[in-house]
Structure 1
Amino acid sequence: MGLSWPYHALGAYLDCPIVGIQQVPDDGPGPESIRDMAQRYADTVQSLYPGGPYHLLGWSFGGLVVHELAVELRRRGCVVGRLIVLDATPCADEVTDDITAAVREAEILKYVLRANGIDLPADDLEPFTYQRAAELIPERQHANFGLPSAQLLEILVANSIANERHRSGHRPTVFDGDLTIFVATRGGNDSTLLEDWRPYVRGDIVEYAVDSTHNEMLNAESLKLFGAQLKAALVDGQAPGVSAAGRSIAGVTGT
């Protein structure tokens, strides 16, 4: 959706500055591809921290972007200290072209409510609109929580649709360093992310399994499960994991 808000929860585990790069509209044209995003974001991080090194983390779609950002920073001669992706697949699944803005809006609203602990009725047959979402908040006794504004929601919907288009046309460039992957395993699905990323990473790959769903990876409960490992991987680079075949193992953007 292009927001870095979910990453604020990492502050409970990391003793370092956390810079979130958001996909927000400006006066110019939006990015035309993930590589275009990576070039823009590289400009941003270099302007903030010209000397590096850069420790990069991305979740979901942000994992694709941060991998390409790492490639771009290396192309510019920068040092990428760590590259970490949270439950991100390197290549797109089949993309459905007929998803409407209304359908995507409903998906985003449901995600926002669930992320804030608001249960959704399983048998609700009404169209899930902004008004319906607003009605559920007092019904579920969450008076202190407010929905994003209608204008922001419109931006999130546009970002989500554009990002799906970018993802469908993206083939990752090979990164010449190491990669750490945290995989959401809730639901019993066997992960192939380590093998999926192997063609696009020249260095070592370490994988961790997290008992979480994809959408809950950055909530407080899930971070209790892997926050310490994440800190070790990001700051120390010494947390144990499962390595990719071929080399031995010694040791941020929005969905």
Structure 2
Amino acid sequence: MNTDVLLPLRTTGSGVPLFCVHPLSGLGWCYAGLLPYLGRRPVHCLQARRRPARDLAAMVADYLATIRAAQPDGPYQLMGWSAGGSIAHAVACGLQRQGARVAFLALLDSFPSTGEEPRPVDSESDRLDLARTLATDLGTRARQDPGEDATRVLRRLARHSGLSERLLSELVDTALGTRAAVRRALPGTFHGDVLHLEAARESRGTLTPRAWERHIDGRLDVRRVDCRHVDMMRPGPLSVIGPILAAELSLVRDRTRIEPSQVRDRTRIEPSQVRDRPAPLVIQHGQR
């Protein structure tokens, strides 16, 4: 499995590349299911380094350098699922501070941090939570066996995924560091419109995607997808999410042109597929 920081899912094709930021697991493979919906567009994923960044600012600086090495000039297009949405928002703000144009930003069931210091880590319960999250990101449904610990989850995941237990344990450590970094950081302000796709089968109390409005100088377009947070990258939800992203990216394409030399190395949606009304929503404990 490729664990490089830049994971190219498709390098050929035409148009502005889409950069997808990893969820809490640190891996970008979960976005591969989007490829059939995105035409010939190049798609790259940002993956977490095995040694967790000391804070979100350091992570963003690393990803900015990685993106600009692959695509030196804008416009840029970004998206992220769960914790990846918060990181994508921070990267988009960083690109704008550098004077670059960000033409597209999509957040998939992601919510802004309040900047609060993370609670003390309960090492075993947190590792178990993140081991199960990692199993989901790798396409394996984690069983909720009473009394099961993280070691057993990772051992079973190693058998199913073909990855070593050592690598999987390192990924869990990375996820712990990434979650702490994201939670400590207050979001900046993104100057532009943002698309938010919300998992409608979640109960989140008073927290809604509209919380992003404090961190966006532009229009927030909220769409609801009939799924759970953990299922957003599965085939059923992707059959709705993929066409939405394709349609919105095609609108950006109509306003944006990029030559292939600048890059290195409207699908129709039925109204019944998407509910536009935002509903009160909360980040699950383990938002990825």
Aligned partner of 1:17 among 42, 49, 59? 42
TM-score by length of 2: 0.71
Q: CA deviation at 1:34?
A: 1.6
Is residue 104–residue 157 contact of structure 1 (8 Å, CA) maintained in 2?
Answer: no
Match of 1:73 in 2: 95
Asked if 1:49 corresponds to 2:64, the answer is: no
Q: CA deviation at 1:109?
A: 3.2
Mean alpha-carbon deviation: is it higher for 160-169 or for 197-206? Answer: 160-169
TM superposition outliers: structure 1 runs of 4+ over 6 Å: 238-241
Q: 1 or 2 for the larger relative contact order (CA 8 Å, sep ≥6)?
A: 1
SS of 2:227's partner is: coil
Cα displacement string for residues 108-148 of structure 1 (whole angstroms, at most 9, x for unaligned residues): 3323445535462x5x33323434564589xxxxx8x3253
Match of 1:98 in 2: 121
Query: 1:61 is matched by which residue type in structure 2?
Result: A
Match of 2:184 in 1: 169
Match of 2:26 in 1: 2
SS of 2:99's partner is: coil
Is residue 183–residue 191 contact of structure 1 (8 Å, CA) maintained in 2?
Answer: no
SS of 1:161's partner is: helix
Alpha-carbon distance in structure 2 between the residues aligned to 1:151 and 1:2: 15
Change in Cα spacing, 1:75 to 1:223, as seen in structure 2 (3 Å) is same
Query: 1:130 is matched by which residue type in structure 2?
Result: T
Alpha-carbon distance in structure 1 between the residues aligned to 2:175 and 2:88: 17
Change in Cα spacing, 1:173 to 1:2, as seen in structure 2 (3 Å) is same
SS of 2:103's partner is: strand
Mean alpha-carbon deviation: is it higher for 183-192 or for 212-221? Answer: 183-192
Alpha-carbon distance in structure 2 between the residues aligned to 1:134 and 1:195: 40
Q: CA deviation at 1:39?
A: 1.6
Query: 1:110 is matched by which residue type in structure 2?
Result: R
Match of 2:165 in 1: 150
SS of 1:58's partner is: strand
Mapping of residues 55-134 of structure 1, within 5 Å:
55-92=77-114, 95-100=118-123, 102-114=124-136, 116-118=139-141, 120=143, 124-131=145-152, 134=155
Mapping of residues 17-36 of structure 1, within 5 Å:
17-25=42-50, 30-36=52-58
Mean alpha-carbon deviation: is it higher for 75-84 or for 155-164? Answer: 155-164
SS of 1:19's partner is: strand
Alpha-carbon distance in structure 2 between the residues aligned to 1:165 and 1:38: 14
State the aligned residue count: 234
Gaps of at least 5 residues in structure 1 are 138-142, 245-253
Query: 2:238 is matched by which residue type in structure 1?
Result: L
Match of 1:140 in 2: none
Change in Cα spacing, 1:229 to 1:135, as seen in structure 2 (3 Å) is closer
Match of 2:193 in 1: 178
Alpha-carbon distance in structure 2 between the residues aligned to 1:243 and 1:204: 15
Alpha-carbon distance in structure 2 between the residues aligned to 1:191 and 1:136: 35
Is residue 67–residue 83 contact of structure 1 (8 Å, CA) maintained in 2?
Answer: yes
Match of 1:212 in 2: 227
Aligned partner of 1:160 among 168, 172, 175? 175
Change in Cα spacing, 1:20 to 1:191, as seen in structure 2 (3 Å) is farther
Q: CA deviation at 1:52?
A: 2.2
Is residue 32–residue 166 contact of structure 1 (8 Å, CA) maintained in 2?
Answer: yes
Query: 1:228 is matched by which residue type in structure 2?
Result: P
Change in Cα spacing, 1:164 to 1:134, as seen in structure 2 (3 Å) is closer
Change in Cα spacing, 1:159 to 1:202, as seen in structure 2 (3 Å) is same
Change in Cα spacing, 1:21 to 1:69, as seen in structure 2 (3 Å) is same
Match of 1:193 in 2: 208
